[in-house]
Amino acid sequence: MSETEEVDPHMLAKILKDILDNRRLTSLFQPIIDLKAGVVVGYEALMRGPSDSPLHAPTALLSVADRCERLGELDRLCREVHIGNFATRKLPGKLFLNVCPETLMQADFRSGMTRRVLGELGLTPDQVVIELTEHYPIEDFEPMRRAIAHYRSMGFAVAIDDLGAGYAGLRLWSELRPDFVKFDRHFIQNIDSDPTKVQFIRSMQEIAAELGCQTIAEGIETEAEFRAVSKLGVAFGQGYFFARPSLHPELNQAKFGQAVLGIGKQRSAVGGRTRNVACLIRRVPSVLPGIPVHAVADMFVDMPSVQALAVVGQGDIPVGLVSRYKFMNMLGSRYGRDLYGRMPVSKFMETRPLIIEKDQPLEQLSQLITSSREFTCLDDFIITENGEYVGTGTLLALLREITDLQISHARHANPLTLLPGNVLINEHLDKLLADRTPFAACYCDLDYFKPFNDTYGYRRGDQVICLLGRLLQEEADSRWDFIGHIGGDDFLAVLCTDDWQQRCAEVLRRFDEEIGAFYDPGDLQQGGIWSESRDGSRKFFPLVCLSIGAVYSDSGSFSSCHAISAAAVEMKQQAKKISGSNLFVDRRQQGFPVLKAL
């Protein structure tokens, strides 16, 4: 029995009236994170009733409001309270507002009340996403389509909440073509160990790509779930893994980037060597929020090459950025120094600069700059170490480093797959060994590939090689792992997460599933091809399969990249002795006395 069922219905109606009359609602905000860039793209507003009330929980509050036929009033009050709190807290990104579909079509909603409230608080409709909570059947979609068209014409975006949990989620998606869909938490929980859920989300991702819709995974609670949905291409996520709903949500963008990409654990796979933000640090003095404007102007005069100054608060935590161009233009105006000279610089600083940890890879910084519109200044950014200011960086310096990485990659990449070649593979392995980072080196080689290539020609052979490269990249985690193309049909996957064996097994499964598409129907039906063997005789060869030989390196296991390569080749040869696609793992480096095939 629920808490509300134990309370007299008349008493519940009185409590609801008190909540509505006295605006006794609280807003909790939970961030929605870009799963690639690690930045906040918005916050979902979640309502709560009074903490000492049986209507504290949103489900109880909605249920009683529905029974009392006051759902529209509750919905309207929620919007007003959430918008006001969002504006007061100066939260970045978009505000995701939960709205019941039946309320959306009511006249008072369409009268423009929401837009008026936004305008009074200095917000615009393009900062709001109307999130449809589809928990009740929708019998007539035409009015809903008209309503959605009306709100979009005003600038609002639209999302469908809890896809997969409601009555007609897929039809609602088809009919309304929302800007966002949120996958229900049921399909995200334990997705890392449930192939059925993986297939469901993969299928929904394909639909979303066709419809031009962005996807959000709700209820991400573990690192394993985060990795699984990221690998499937889900754009955004929210859940306890990042942050719980809060009255005063976290505003430090760098924290979310660390949660997504790991604090100081990342390596740049491009070029096989580490290129972190630390290489961009420029040791520039910082200023305090209370320093007068004229003193900051003098600093810019004394340091003509400095284009920005970081403003730091207690504990050297950055709170803003002062741009030379805007700042000096303001002071250069008529009476500028007289009007503003004695004011604190905090009144003129950029309040949402880009802040990034020095140990993050350059690729992450590039993603932050290109994928987010939430930062008010991008020509210069602040670099921190464990959240404390260490210096500034410039967009020009980042472009130079990224260009150098791309040139290095192009010089040593395999021309067919564009994956890093032997030089970059060796550099990457040596760097991991120097850092004493645990990893698995997985040598991948195709069996019966030469007769396939001889029979069907190099063009189809190249397609099979590209298939293997694609599968390895899709099953790897681009933030930690490295995929190299040794040459021909040989690849090396350097995997750094604990589930590397499962991911190798998935590559094997998918390869066996997809290789049949490259055979003619007759050959596929007989399970292989007749072709000339190495001794010149005619011989039957089964379908191309995949052998993977793996060695694991922890602290001190191997002395060089060449030792790792030799051991991985040995394991690959052991795998090729077994019929079909196989992973053969060397257990000796982990203290196991025997070799084992998986």
Question: All domains of the chain, ordered by start, with CATH?
Answer: 4-251 (3.20.20.450), 270-401 (3.10.580.10), 413-597 (3.30.70.270)
- For residue 328, give the nearest of 337, 316, 320 by alpha carbon: 337
- pLDDT tens-digit series, residues 441-475: 999 999 999 999 999 999 999 999 999 999 999 88
Distance between CA 584 and CA 380 in Å, rounded? 49
Q: Which parts of the chain sit beneath pLDDT 70?
A: 1-7, 37, 105-111, 134-139, 164-169, 251-274, 370-378, 479, 588-598
- What's the rounded Cα separation, in Å, for the pair 85 and 100? 20
Q: What is the pLDDT of residue 521?
A: 93
**Could you tell me where the DSSP H helices lie in 191-252?**
195-211, 223-231
Segment 280-303, tens digit of pLDDT: 999 999 999 999 988 998 899 889
By the 10 Å C-beta count (0-12 exposed, 13-18 middle, 19+ buried), 314 is classed as exposed
Three-state SS for 538?
A: strand
Note the pLDDT of residue 36. 75
Specify the pLDDT at position 169. Answer: 66
Amino acid at 565: S
Q: How far apart, in whole angstroms, are the C-alpha atoms of residue 434 and residue 328?
A: 47
The confidence score (pLDDT) of residue 264 equals 36
CA-to-CA separations, 536 to 192, 276, 451, 461, 539, in angstroms, rounded: 48, 54, 12, 21, 9
